[in-house]
Structure 1
Amino acid sequence: MTWTQQVQGPVFRPGDREFDEETSGFQTAYKHRPAYVVAATGADDVRKALTGAGGLPVAVQATGHGRTVPLDGGVLISTRRMTGLRVDPGRRSAWIEAGVRWQQVITAAAEHGLAPLSGSAPEVGVVGYILGGGLGVLARRYGYAADHVSSIDVAAADGSLRHVTADDDPDLFRELRGAGHGLGVVTAMEIGLVPVTRLYGGGLYVDSPHVPELLEVYRDWTADLPDELTSSVALIPYPDMAGVPELLRGRYAAHVRIAFAGPTAQGERLVAPLRAAVPLLRDTLAELPFTQSASIYNDPAWPHSYGGTNAMLRELDPTVLRDIVELAGPGAPVPCIVQLNHMGGALARPPAVPNAVGHRDAAYLVRVLSVLGDPAAASRAHGRLLDALAPWTVGRSRNFLFGQPWADQAGAVVSGTA
């Protein structure tokens, strides 16, 4: 019996009817072209795929959000059928398999008055997000999602299955949380949940002429905020297309994202200086259940091609704000979406159990992303911005390297959004 016959889930080859569906994903710029796709149904299938690969390159895919280096030949392990999920309200934790998406955890945790440390997009895979650190909606209040992992199940390249905790293998446990590249295929993990049911959040939208002033106000505003308030500003060239609010279609605008884990009245007081600073196109701030937290960002839910990178900054010098607008604003050679995240708070504090998430001294994160109509032009535009930010850069966030190999290059076996 061959190794492909020993796998419980289906195995696909090029030319099979299901092959294209299994190799596609959210990211459409890069397409896997493996010799085999193992549609794993559990950890044992992953183990058999690793041993059966016999030295062939291996890649892993759950949702395809983080895919940046396509696999050519070899074995692609698809984990999207591994959707096991158990919530333990007493421990405030959830055990999740490698194919689980954030929306599943958000819904299951809410039944017990709890919430996960999820990101802006509910359709992203949980495991890959956490392996990169996990910068969530309430990150300044609770830190990185990787700070709240209590155990990890991993299949090693030799086919062995391990349950890894801080007690039995502290070094491997540390590296898997924040720098999981090349250490094995994560098949499941147990993550912490937090007692959050509602928050004060939403967005403030500002038209292009007022963006430079808004950024200056945002810089001053974030200098003294409680940890309970997590925010970012996205500068977006909105397309003129269905699905975009009519008021924003065809505009270049700023979108301030607010998530406050505290009383609504206090949130209103904290946000008042931003509201009063510049004219607003739209204001959606309100109290909302955590189950609607994705509405704060309204990330696109349809598959598309994109590339992007980031810079974690020790401070937000006024020069940085001018460079963002000049190099990646409306006059950029390719349309760029730039997001400026306020860091600090719990993100700056070391977790109770050490992990590999780096650059906790970063005060801000600048992300730049473009739809890849012209990949070379986008890369040049992003590179010019990173060069300008270099004097203040302390490093990169692994979660936001789109088109930059770290977690899914051929030969690396690490489960996630790739």
Structure 2
Amino acid sequence: MSYTLDAVVDDVQIDAPFDVLDAVITGAVHTPEAPEYAAHVTPWNLAVQLTPSAVVDARTAEDVAAAVRFAGAFGLTAGVQGTGHGAIPGIAGHLLVSTKGLDEVTVHPEGWARVGAGVKWLRVVEAAAPYGLAPLSGSVTDVGVVGYTTGGGVGPMARTYGIAADKVRAFDVVTGDGVVRRVTPTENPDLFWALRGGKGTAGIVTAVEFDLVHQPTFYGGSLWFDAVDAPQVIAAWRTWADELPEAGTTSFGLFQLPPLPGVPPMLAGKMTLSIRFLWTGDAAEGERHLNRIRAVAPAILDDCALKPYTAVDSVHTDPVDPTPAIDPAILLSEFPAEAADRLLEVGGHGSGSSLILLEVRALGGQYARAPQHPDAFDHRGARFSVLAVGLAATPDMAAQGMVDAERVFDALARWDSGRVWPNFGPVHDADSARRAYEEATRERLAAIVQAYDPDGVLHYGRWTRSVA
């Protein structure tokens, strides 16, 4: 079968012999008529549609390099998708490189791991657990390791151990010139800076090596209240979170969970408030701290206990199944009482909000400290993050979700830092690039992109370079 296409995509005349690329790689090339195409291009967020001219099912780093060189030779842009989280329209470029097949997981008992770009955190968590070790995984272990880490990676132990990017030892990456490179603090150090926080601007990561922490267990989970009690619980949470030692990381979420299988009956069909808590130290001490929140109002569900780290998903209770959603976010410099009142007015009980989740995470601690090796993550000064999630099963639902999210953000505008984590606000235009990176960071990223991708092959790096 010939895979040659002759079409116009993004004003580029595509006349590329994809069968030639298919013949020289270990994996395979799939065009839209192939049955395998949909599985590789469909992201986790079903509201986002990706329609590249072809997708490369890469099985080795050299497959990725061959795909990038091929794209460059035929004037195409190359995008990348691993697990499908964090997708945005247009991210695929003309030729999407799927890294799902890069599934290596090696855990070294002395405390570090090597992971391929197609791996999700759950596999690492499970492989590390027998040694009493844990990675700095995300709020849900269904998220991919590489995309999460290159965007910084702020997880449920961030106040104790910092962000995932802080633990990186090395990357294997294919840059826009189609070269496979080893990246460490001393080998290609400019790329080591860019790939920790710069997301996919500087290359397609094929593997990452990172340190683990000794954390066989934790104390925590989720503590649920009726939304009518949210004003006093959040008021107490604000003071409590500010006084919490760095062994504790916490957030809260206002949920509107539909009555679906797996949703506890006491949480379904109404607004509830979840206090999320992960304590890395002595369990008895963690329980004493949490008891301050337990005393504020009657809980309708209390899941907090001493648990193995393999139960970490019980903290945030994020969904695993693919979902059509809108999920904008902002970062706050402060979250005073007035901000909490305004948030509840537009997003709390009785507000009429359609959002299924309105989340506020407390930051600080190790998250706020500069890492041993400087990186492209610009947001350590933020004190809180705010995430709004709405269902987007129909265009009307998506539009209403964005309206309700903007109402929340407008209410919090006085404390909005103007920035957003790259993982919560992927770069897709000039405005998102300016929100994700400070000017000096954008300029440095742009210079690195120009050096390693002079022809602009990598789709994700184009926006950073265009607004530097």
Q: Pick the TM interval, shorter chain.
A: over 0.9
How far apart are residue 50 of structure 1 and its match? Answer: 0.5
Query: Are residues 60 and 208 of structure 1, via their aligned partners in 2, closer, same or farther at CA, if it must alter by over 3 Å?
Result: same
Q: Which residue of 2 aligns with 1:411?
A: 459
TM-score, normalization: structure 1? 0.94
Note the residue ranges of structure 2 that are not aligned, 5 or more in a row: 1-18, 434-456, 463-468
RMSD: 2.0
Cα deviations by residue, 1:331-364 (Å, 9 ceiling, x for unpaired) = 2453341111110010011111111112212221
Distance 1:411 1:336, change over 3 A: same
For 1:382, give the aligned amino acid. A
Which of the residues 79, 88, 91 maps onto 1:59?
Answer: 79
Quote the residue 2:413 is aligned against: 390
Unaligned runs of 5+ in 1: none
In 1, the alpha carbon distance for the partners of 2:304 and 2:199 equals 36
The match for 2:334 among 315, 323, 329 is 315
Matched, 1:399 2:418: no
Select 1:31's aligned residue among 38, 42, 49. Answer: 49
SS in 2 for 1:278: coil
The correspondence of residues 127-206 of structure 1 with structure 2, limited to 5 A, is 127-206=146-225
TM-score for the superposition, normalised by structure 2: 0.84
C-alpha distance in 2 between matches for 1:72 and 1:164: 24
Q: Does the alignment pair 1:7 with 2:25?
A: yes
Q: How many residues align?
A: 412
What are the residue-to-residue correspondences of 1:175-324 with 2, within 5 Å?
175-324=194-343
Local SS of the residue matching 2:408: helix
Which residue identity does 1:60 align to in structure 2?
V
1:108 — aligned with what? 127
What is the 5 A alignment of 1:318-333? 318-330=337-349, 331-333=351-353
- Contact conserved, 2:159 with 2:366, CA < 8 A, in 1? yes
User: Matches of 1:191 and 1:403 in 2, distance apart?
Assistant: 25
Write out aligned runs for 1:368-379 (5 A): 368-372=388-392, 373=394, 374-379=397-402
Please tell me whether residue 340 in structure 1 is matched to residue 360 in structure 2.
yes
Residues 202-229 of structure 1 deviation map (CA, whole Å, 9 limit, x = unaligned): 1110101101111111011112111000
Partner of 2:3: none
Distance 1:71 1:164, change over 3 A: closer
Measured after TM superposition, the shift of residue 154 of structure 1 is 0.8
With 398-407 and 134-143 compared, the bigger mean Cα shift is at 398-407
Asked whether 1:77 is paired with 2:97, we answer yes
- Give the secondary structure class of the aligned counterpart of 1:268: helix
Equivalent pair of 2:173/2:203 in contact (CA under 8 Å): yes
Amino acid at match of 1:230: T
Distance of aligned partners of 1:157 and 1:403 in 2 relative to their CA distance in 1, 3 Å threshold = closer
Instruction: Letter of the 1:154 partner, please give it.
Output: V
Contact 2:79–2:460 under 8 Å retained in 1: yes
Tell me, in whole angstroms, the C-alpha distance in 2 between the residues paired with 1:73 and 1:184: 14
**Hey, what's the Cα distance between the residues in 2 that align with 1:362 and 1:25?**
29
Identity of aligned residues (%): 35
Distance 2:91 2:406 in 1: 25
**RCO comparison, higher one (Cα < 8 Å, 6+):** 1
Taking structure 1 as reference, are residues 230 and 271 closer, same or farther at Cα in structure 2, changes over 3 Å only?
same
CA distance in structure 2 between the partners assigned to 1:113 and 1:304 by the alignment: 33
Residue number in structure 1 paired with 2:443? none
